[in-house]
Amino acid sequence: MDKPEKFIIDGIRLDGRKPDELRPMKIEVGVLNRADGSCYLEFGKNKVLAAVYGPREVHPRHNQKPTTAVVRFRYNMASFSVEERKRPGPDRRSIEVSKVSREAVEPMIFTEYFPKSAIDIFVEVLQADAGTRTAGINAASIALADASIPMRGLVSSCAVGKVDGELVLDLMKDEDNYGEADMPVAMTPDGEITLLQMDGNLTREELKKALEMATEGCKQIYKLQREALIGRYKKELEEHKEDVELVETITESEETSIESTTTVNIDESGGLDDE
């Protein structure tokens, strides 16, 4: 598409969104049987798949760290994900995106729990429409939780850009191609920034406002990520309802028998005193 004359007409963007509106997001958790955790995510027209393996042995062995897990992140764009066929394999861009994506999620992982092991994260972009690194980080974060990797929280990510001199949340392809700035951000639920990049120019004031918009966007994404994860485990519980009920009955009867045989008193000094 050629550069449009205007990107915002009467306060509405070319794809019908308001300046501070995210593209619709669809999340499916646990879509791959062989991965320890996985997530398929659509963010507007972006389609990405994240798979997490580990904690597992590190190969080659010399890459292992004695006191923490190594986190590896591979972002890859499928040849068919863009309009003109992309040459398969890593390139400068995918190496950079892999690095910044790893740095965006790693601070949230309790790597110290798994010394000498590896946590591998793969993101495959199946369809790209600007913002694939943010989509990949959102999906990876969910896949890590799905793999039961202990984490401080989820990481959420979106970009803020500038078109027609106005700040807009979550750029789509044409806005990204012809816009004046593009600033991908990733954040923890506490608002700590784990990724901040920028193409183009923003004034100091614009940067401040852009960060506020990104924070609001990340909050909305966090809610969707959380709902998707809860939904996944609710479904699992429903499917195994009978097993869950059985476990509940067993644990209940065990608790009763433990209560009836042991009485634990707290003595005056605060210590435990078994009778």
Distance, CA of 17 to CA of 11 (rounded, Å):
9
Shortest distance, CB of residue 75 to ligand ADP, whole angstroms?
9
Q: Does 101 bind ligand ADP (CB under 6 A)?
A: no
From the number of C-beta atoms within 10 Å of its C-beta (0-12, 13-18, 19+), residue 1 rates as exposed
Q: Does 47 bind ligand ADP (CB under 6 A)?
A: no
Stretch that binds ligand ADP, among 31-39, 48-56, 130-138, 261-269 (CB under 6 A): 130-138
Nearest CA among 48, 28, 60, 33 for reference residue 122: 48
Q: Which is nearer to ligand ADP, 99 or 234 (CB)?
A: 99
Distance, CA of 19 to CA of 160 (rounded, Å):
10
Contacts (Cβ under 8 Å, ≥6 apart) of 210: 160, 162, 167, 181, 183, 202
Distance of alpha carbon 76 from the chain centroid: 16
Shortest distance, CB of residue 143 to ligand ADP, whole angstroms?
18
Stretch that binds ligand ADP, among 126-134, 219-227, 240-248, 254-262 (CB under 6 A): 126-134
Q: Which is nearer to ligand ADP, 119 or 185 (CB)?
A: 185
Contacts (Cβ under 8 Å, ≥6 apart) of 36: 52, 53, 54, 146, 147, 148
Q: Does 130 bind ligand ADP (CB under 6 A)?
A: yes
* Cα-based distances in Å from 180 to 44, 56, 165: 21, 43, 8
Q: Per-residue contact track with ligand ADP, 143 to 182, x per CB under 6 A? A: ------------------------------x--x-----x
Q: Does 133 bind ligand ADP (CB under 6 A)?
A: yes
Q: Which is nearer to ligand ADP, 128 or 149 (CB)?
A: 128
Stretch that binds ligand ADP, among 4-12, 52-60, 128-136, 232-240 (CB under 6 A): 128-136
Distance, CA of 26 to CA of 235 (rounded, Å):
17
Binding site for ligand ADP (CB under 6 A): 82, 86, 93, 128-133, 173, 176, 182
